[in-house]
Structure 1
Amino acid sequence: QHSFVKAVSEIHVTVDDPGKWEAATVYPPAGNIKKGDSVKLQHKHMGKVKMYYTLDGSMPGENATLYNPSTYQPELNQPIVINQDTCIKVVVKGFGKYDSDMAEYRYQIK
């Protein structure tokens, strides 16, 4: 994962457990959905993390689809269009904490 920093005034080095990033959430909530509707992935630290997801049932990793490619251009965050029963699996990755647990959201066409 590439990154850059600027205006760093302090660096803390610690052996404390940093914990994990919180799991991503979705909107609308998982469940029934109309064919062609879309789902947005969300995270309270959207500008600090990357969300990788799959739609084929596989475990998401860094080779999975990246939902939020830019922290400076939120318009690049394209909602996921649901055209069939779908299971979205998503993992949150970022600096300073361990990867989140995998979250799984199932949508059924009504």
Structure 2
Amino acid sequence: MVHSEVLDAAFAALADPTRRSVLVRLGDGPATVTELAEPAGMSVTGMAKHVRVLEDAGLVTTEKVGRTRQCRLGTERLDDAMSWIGFYQRLWDRRLDGLDAFLLLQKGTTS
């Protein structure tokens, strides 16, 4: 199972709509912090703070290229979050399948 600190950082980063939109944008390819800030109507400094949270959570990687900071998706932490979600999805699927079987059995005994 994934460590809770890793999940806490990932889910905290994903809780903000600006950071989620950054991830959507980076899904189209790398972008500079300036390119990310413009459509959000945000200062470069403000966007850099959002990028830092995503980077600390392992959701984004950055690299200094000349005078700019290039951002890319980092998949490792999303894989961790998806693994955690998948575990609970399978758990609930099994429970709901059991409930479905029970209800069908009950329906069959009352007919």
TM-score range for the pair, normalised by the shorter chain length: under 0.3
- Relative to the length of structure 2, the TM-score reads 0.26
Question: Relative contact order: is structure 1 or structure 2 higher (C-alpha 8 Å, sep ≥ 6)?
Answer: 1
* More helix, by proportion: 2
Q: Answer with 1 or 2: which has the greater Rg.
A: 2
* More strand, by proportion: 1
